[in-house]
Amino acid sequence: MLSAPLKKTQYVSRQSDENGIIHWSNDENEIWQQLYKRQVALLPGRACEQYMQGLDLLKLSQDRIPQLKDIDEVLMRETGWKTAEVPALINFTDFFTLLANKQFPVATFIRNKEDFDYLQEPDVFHEIFGHCPLLTNPAFANFTHTYGKLGLAANKEDRGYLARLYWFTVEFGLLKTADGLRIYGGGILSSPGETHYALESEIPFRYDLKPIDVLRTPYRIDIMQPLYFLLEDFDNLIDMAEMDIMALVEEAKKLALFAPKFTPKN
């Protein structure tokens, strides 16, 4: 959902009615059904246990796009979070404000068939299927809340550093387990191509997660990731939430960014 600066989008988010219901079309529900069926089959043995537990708690519909009020009921019960309807793209300030208030932004549109395999913008499938299951987990929810509060108080330059922390954890994080690597990043969990690539390809680098290194690592949003950071234990998210992240940001500024492991975008 990070999107600064704002850019144009072909998508327009739907708005709920007075009862909190979004009236999705049959075509939109069909796209959800196809995306859900394809992705959920890939996740056993690849997604982390905490995500699979959250997916079970949410009991997402396979046949139609879930209503946010039903997601909210579970999130509020488990961790005190809820969703927030937002346009297709929002700025950093709106993004951080929502997270700081335990509201997860959900763009209420779904990709069309032309963008079925890849969509650069976060749609309702990415947000609900990719991210909401882990928001039932206290460690993940607390980390995301802390991140939102830090970002809301940060200046423009520092937000750029914080964006890297979010990218390499919440969006594209991998977790070490006794059974091998597992996925907890929503950007991977909602992408069939990246699900295979992140775990099985020999192309990307995979480094142990050190927050100072993450803050110094450039990324691109429109390619398969050239590197991933590995979380040693899921509860390390608790430890990171208690760190002085902004002190690490200041240290990262002094050390400068690492050379990117990708070709710069024209």
Question: Which residues participate in the annotated binding site for Fe cation?
Answer: 126, 131, 171
What DSSP letter does each residue of 195-227 carry, written as one string?
HHHHHH-SSSEEEE--HHHHHT----SSS--SE
- Name the E strands within 57-126: 82-86, 103-107
Distance, in Å, from the CA atom of 117 to the CA atom of 129, rounded to the nearest integer, reads 15
Q: Side chain identity at 158, as an amino acid letter? A: D
What DSSP letter does each residue of 17-50 carry, written as one string?
-TTS-----HHHHHHHHHHHHHHHTT-TTTB-HH
- Only one residue has tokens 């996740």, namely 43
* Count of residues making up the chain: 266
Dihedral of CA atoms 221, 223, 227, 230 in degrees, nearest 10, equals 60
Task: Collapse the DSSP code of 6 into the 3-class scheme (helix H, G, I; strand E, B; otherwise coil) and give the result.
Answer: coil
Give how far Cα 101 sits from Cα of 96, 138, 219, 229, Å: 9, 15, 27, 27
Which residue positions form the known binding site?
A: 126, 131, 171
Q: What is the largest CA-CA distance in the chain?
A: 53
CB 161 within 8 A of CB 253: yes
